[in-house]
Amino acid sequence: MNELQKYDLIKPLGEFKPMGPISHVEIQPVKEYGDYCEPCNAGDEDFWSVYVRYDPSKNDKHFGGVDCIADCSDFDAAVRIANLVSGMLGVEVVGA
């Protein structure tokens, strides 16, 4: 349990259901602008997000895009979660 607390999650991984084959896990710095958030340059972030990237070449509907699976207060926490998820999925981590 102490190891999980190191992640300092803003939004937990709960209720994630993949919508298609996943090609990789991404880490992005994110800036909050009142009622919306956007990826930004490292150093300007309010938090770090971990995403799974869907591979449109691996499904019959050619579905692509990303799902945010966790928001973390710092980069190290995002890396730990991304590495955990990528290991479970057998895909690589990219980004930041």
Q: Strand ranges (DSSP E) for the chain?
A: 9-11, 22-33, 36-39, 47-54, 65-72, 92-95
Say what percent of the chain tops pLDDT 90.
Answer: 38
- CB of 51 closer than 8 Å to CB of 25: yes
Q: pTM of the full predicted structure?
A: 0.75
Q: Which two tokens stand for residue 68?
A: 């945010």
Radius of gyration of the chain (CA): 13
User: What is the predicted pLDDT for the residue at 18?
Assistant: 67
Give percent above pLDDT 70 in the chain: 72
58-74 average pLDDT score: 79
Task: Tell me the pLDDT band of 96, cut-offs 50, 70 and 90.
Answer: low
Of residues 72 and 10, more confidence is placed in: 72
